[in-house]
Structure 1
């Protein structure tokens, strides 16, 4: 799920109409109590069911893992840049092909440890890339590329063309490799910051939704502890549960604003579908829901509705 920055500066990643309006509590209670599905829910659901918020917690773990891998890639590109910067380049006359202008078709760069006419400097560049970026545990598994393919994807297709042109490392090629590697590292730092912001947002939603669910359960538990006629208390709790459902709706609205204004765009997922949004990059390939906060809020809101339906049955039965 890790991302890479492409040439464009973005990341590449491997209902029925109501019959009448009724706004009073008694009208709502009567309507719900007359619904057979509500009575069925009373029988099937537990009285104080607990919503575990597994979706949000799982999303936080996925984000933490992804951020770790992105930071590992940042460190690897910085290490690669350091190694390349420390090499002695070939004389300026050794090659004339520049990195930053139009180039011919990319030619294959040998990844062998020796042999042929490949300059020792170039072999050290390839070895440095193999021992830094390509050595990351997740890298080969996720991208499944050769060293030249990865260099072209990460640092631009003209990198391999320039390196292969004369099989050596010119001062211009060396400078461009270092510059682009630093840029790739900086891009991953920006991405890690965006992921950290997402983790903070998930933590806030987890806190808010946990509070809503805890309040829901305590209201039901409070009703169970009342002796004698509990009709008035049930109606009051029914109304408070409605307020909690509204809080779930507010959380959904707030989250939707974030989804509609992502911090960055992620480039092609590798399947030709083109750029995707930041949250699709984070959650599109995970086992959990693509929108964990929305899924969690919907689950809690559904449990609140089940509880309200159950209370309606109690009230209708005079309990």
Structure 2
């Protein structure tokens, strides 16, 4: 599920392309490297979200590295100075080949990443325009030669595209950290709920029931806090990626059971806490 940030625009591939980035055993590409050990207690929703982030991170990293390789190849090309007078045949051939070498370098780097065809499936002209803008793409496709000005513009555009991917990788890292933190907090809440809910309520005295009720209320407050922190992270993603035409969570998790996996998990935990609290309240009413 790669993306290209350029001039405050986000280039999004078709959603069906996400399935092509799955590895063996149903894991998405890069998931095994990204997900830490000890995730057994985490909800399936958040597990799947981490897989999606790992897959996206692997995709964006591959594109960043490909752009770096493209820039190195352009740097090695000799720029051609086009004179105003009649060109010799040899000079004309050199001019023709100079832009062809740039196009070849682009096709053999960025357009050669493993996921490119399945996610973008565009032509060289379409890809150049999406990455570098219409004017520079036109110069590379129909210009006379790789002049120093064009070469500098290509290298600047490639550097900008790399930086945009670096920024997006930072956002993905923060998203993964947010998922991990929320999962750990939710695991703690679940463990404490199991401890509170251990043993029959009918065997508890009134004071013990009151303590249990307060314990459940405290857990409900913690769940609310986890939800607020998660919503703050979602809002921060929107400010970090102002050119993204869709919510990052909806983009990353569109194929999951919920585009907001942490909030959906918190809703499930909240329902269990509500049920536990009401059971205690009924027992309190019966013993009052």
TM over 0.5, yes or no?
A: yes
Asked if structure 1 preserves the Cα contact closer than 8 Å seen for 2:42 and 2:183, the reply is no
Please give the alpha-carbon distance, in whole angstroms, between the structure 2 residues aligned to 1:93 and 1:197.
51
**1:11 CA drift (Å):** 3.1
**1:52 CA drift (Å):** 4.8
Question: Can you list the C-alpha shifts for 1:257-282, whole angstroms capped at 9, x where unaligned?
Answer: 222332422646xxxxxx22333333
Structure 1 residues not aligned, in runs of 5+: 15-49, 95-115, 269-274
Please give the alpha-carbon distance, in whole angstroms, between the structure 2 residues aligned to 1:12 and 1:244.
42
Is residue 2:217 matched to residue 1:242?
A: yes
Asked if structure 2 preserves the Cα contact closer than 8 Å seen for 1:74 and 1:189, the reply is yes
State the SS of the aligned residue for 1:5: strand
State the SS of the aligned residue for 1:134: helix
**1:310 CA drift (Å):** 3.3
> Which structure has more RCO (C-alpha within 8 Å, separation ≥ 6)?
1
Asked if structure 2 preserves the Cα contact closer than 8 Å seen for 1:154 and 1:184, the reply is yes
Please give the alpha-carbon distance, in whole angstroms, between the structure 2 residues aligned to 1:179 and 1:51.
46
Please give the alpha-carbon distance, in whole angstroms, between the structure 2 residues aligned to 1:265 and 1:281.
12
Q: Which has the larger radius of gyration?
A: 1
Equivalent in the alignment of 2:193:
216
Equivalent in the alignment of 2:17:
none
Question: Can you list the C-alpha shifts for 1:117-166, whole angstroms capped at 9, x where unaligned?
Answer: 98222222122111110111122211221111101100111122112334
Equivalent in the alignment of 2:12:
13
Q: Which residue of the other structure, out of 121, 124, 137, is the alignment partner of 1:160?
A: 137
Compared with structure 1, are the counterparts of its residues 315 and 301 closer, same or farther at alpha carbon in structure 2 (3 Å cutoff)? same
Alignment of 1:130-169 (within 5 A): 130-169=107-146
Please give the alpha-carbon distance, in whole angstroms, between the structure 2 residues aligned to 1:190 and 1:12.
15
Equivalent in the alignment of 1:64:
54
Equivalent in the alignment of 1:25:
none
Alignment of 1:1-319 (within 5 A): 1-7=1-7, 9-14=8-13, 52-93=42-83, 119-221=96-198, 223-224=199-200, 229-232=203-206, 233-262=208-237, 263-265=239-241, 267=243, 275-283=245-253, 285-314=254-283
**1:230 CA drift (Å):** 1.7
Asked if structure 2 preserves the Cα contact closer than 8 Å seen for 1:265 and 1:276, the reply is no
**1:315 CA drift (Å):** 5.0
Structure 1 range deviating more: 176-185 or 157-166:
157-166
**1:78 CA drift (Å):** 0.8
State the SS of the aligned residue for 1:2: coil
User: Could you list the runs of 4 or more consecutive aligned residues of structure 1 that deviate by over 6 angstroms after TM superposition?
Assistant: none
Compared with structure 1, are the counterparts of its residues 117 and 93 closer, same or farther at alpha carbon in structure 2 (3 Å cutoff)? closer
Structure 2 residues not aligned, in runs of 5+: 14-39, 85-92
Please give the alpha-carbon distance, in whole angstroms, between the structure 1 residues aligned to 2:71 and 2:41.
48
Going by fraction, where is helix more abundant, 1 or 2? 2
